[in-house]
Amino acid sequence: MLLQRVMTALLLFPLALLLVLWPSTEIFAPLVAIAFLAAIWEWTRLAGVTNEGLRASLLVASTVIFFGLWSLRNSGLWPWLIVLGVLWWIATCQWLRHFAFAAAPTRENQLLKLGAGALVIFPAWVAGMQIHGQPPHGHWWTLLALAIVWAADIGAYFSGRLFGKRKLAPTISPGKTWAGVYGAFVAGALVAGFGGWLLGVTDLKLAGLVVLSVFTVVASIVGDLLESLMKRHAAVKDSGNLFPGHGGLLDRMDSVFAALPVFAAGKLLLGL
């Protein structure tokens, strides 16, 4: 399984680089929206929506929302949506403390989980476009945000395998350990410091970027745990089977969805 995961990651990495670095934001936005729509499709399944016609209707509505958000990019609304995304992930920490909340397959819980999906997806998309479209190095800043999450994931895996004993959230995700969290912090901070230096960030702002990486990694872990909770509620192992060894798109993007609003908000606060 590890070899399969590594091979899939090696194949996807050049594609991710091309997607982030090559297109203008005007092209990047719809490409990412298409990927996010695929994640929404998977989320509706985890939320308990089994009617495919209804799921398709939700995709159409989501597409309209993406168009609406793009049309409002110069209205001053985007920063507030990013803040909403940050607040959502803070609130999610309370949900994770109460595993059984919304677990029952009721209509009300389906609607709650669909609303949660909107708060996962749309602020993340706005945050990604905000970072990508900011001159002069928005493409590279977007890549740095993603690299922090990727490095944290790798650091968590290996430090957890080597030193992991104390479980982080055994009810939700038995494989995660506190040693993995610490490894994620170290790996994310190293990438943030090196990437910030390459982008010309120095002194206190560079130190602030390293601190921001810690909050970004925390958010990425919360995003991962929320998706794990959703899968536990839905009694499935993966959100999909799009990537061999990696599961579905949500399985690969859950951390990114949570990290992007936090990174974008911190970047704005630091004046980067």
In this structure, are residues 36 and 125 in contact, taking their beta carbons and an 8 Å threshold?
A: yes
What are the structural domain ranges in the chain? 2-270
Biggest CA–CA distance in the chain, Å, is 54
Cβ neighbors of 27 (< 8 A, separation 6 or more) are none
For 104, the token pair is 């029952």
pLDDT confidence of 246, banded at 50, 70, 90?
A: low
How much is the mean pLDDT over the chain? 91
Angstrom distance (rounded) from CA 178 to CA 151: 16
Angstrom distance (rounded) from CA 63 to CA 52: 16
Say if residue 225's pLDDT is above 80: yes
DSSP 167: E
pLDDT confidence of 249, banded at 50, 70, 90?
A: confident
Angstrom distance (rounded) from CA 207 to CA 146: 19
165-195 per-position pLDDT tens digit: 899 998 898 889 999 999 999 999 999 999 9
Cβ neighbors of 67 (< 8 A, separation 6 or more) are none
Distances (CA, A) of 123 to 14, 193, 221, 259: 26, 25, 17, 11
**What pLDDT shows up at residue 117?**
96
Exposure pattern of 183-207 as b/e (b: 16+ CB <10 Å)? bbbbbbbebbbebbeeeebeeeebe
| Residue recorded with tokens 């009617």 | 51
- Coil, helix or strand at residue 199: coil
Q: What is the mean pLDDT of residues 138-164?
A: 93
Q: What is the mean pLDDT of residues 106-112?
A: 94
